[in-house]
């Protein structure tokens, strides 16, 4: 059951990446594209490295908490993305 939900989560998470990247590249000038791609990749990989360590410690306390925190952060990131970029027009 866990493998099934993990597979669904991974598929959904990977579906959003091309959309996010396309939007980000359309929202900046050609001169800024390389910098934006680098900053985005650094933020993504850095947060993945840090969250793996933190979730390991949290799972020692209560094993379910990382799953709930993940849901909260997905909702928060989607909401903030909408708030910050709802009025921005792509170039």
Residue 28 lies in a domain: yes
In a domain? residue 27? yes
- Domain holding 46, by residue range, is 2-85
CA-based nearest residue to 20, from 7, 9, 36, 6:
36
Judge whether residue 35 has pLDDT over 90.
yes
Predicted pLDDT at 90: 61
d(CA 27, CA 71): 27
Residue 25 lies in a domain: yes
CB neighbours of residue 32 within 10 Å: 13
Our count of domains for the chain comes to 1
Within-domain flag for 78: yes
Determine the pLDDT at residue 18.
83
Q: Residue 29 contacts by C-beta under 8 Å, 6 or more apart in sequence?
A: 91
Determine the Cα–Cα distance for residues 45 and 39; give it in Å rounded to an integer.
10
More confident residue, 43 or 78: 43
91 in any annotated domain: no
**Quick check: is 80 in a domain?**
yes
């Amino acid at each position: 059951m866990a493998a099934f939900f993990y597979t669904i989560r991974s598929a959904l998470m990977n579906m959003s990446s091309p959309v996010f990247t396309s939007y980000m590249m359309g929202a900046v000038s050609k001169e800024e594209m390389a910098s934006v791609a680098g900053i985005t990749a650094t933020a993504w990989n850095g947060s993945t490295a840090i969250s793996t360590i933190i979730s390991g410690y949290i799972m020692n306390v209560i094993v379910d908490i990382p799953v709930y925190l993940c849901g909260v952060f997905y909702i928060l990131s989607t909401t903030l993305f909408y708030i910050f970029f709802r009025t921005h027009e792509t170039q």
